[in-house]
Amino acid sequence: MLKIRLRRTGAKKQPSYRVVVAESTSPRDGTFLEILGHYNPLTEPTTLVIKEDRVKDWLERGAQPTDRVARLLSSRGIMPAPTYVDTAKPTAPAAPAAPASPAAPAAAPASA
């Protein structure tokens, strides 16, 4: 499966990223098929340069963006914003279990 994801570049403690298309099994900084742009989160405002036509082409071919890339692409209007499922536990207490029926057989005495 192909993924559109970030590939880390830059010096220690100063990350910048390339937006690339890579096989999902390749390592983060491993081989890739094409560079689609770059992203620098340290600049104010953050820098994001994308080849929009190439991204749309890869999305049509079935490449899946990672969560972070999907958020970046949606900020540019290339794709709709991802939806997240709320996984918080319910705050209401669970209903109590039904009491055991009084006709339940008594336990047999243990023999010695």
Residue 111 reports pLDDT greater than 70: no
pLDDT tens sequence across 36-61: 999 999 999 989 999 999 999 999 99
Q: Looking at residue 28, which CATH number applies to its domain? A: 3.30.1320.10
Using a cut of 0.85, tell me whether the model's pTM lies above it: no
Query: 28 lies in which domain range?
Result: 2-76
Report yes or no on 107 lying in a domain.
no
CA dihedral sign, ordered 27, 29, 31, 33: positive
Q: Does residue 54 contact residue 48 with C-beta atoms inside 8 Å?
A: no
Q: Could you give the number of structural domains in the chain?
A: 1
pLDDT of 27 reads 85
Residue 112 reports pLDDT greater than 70: no
Residue 6 reports pLDDT greater than 90: yes
pLDDT of 92 reads 62
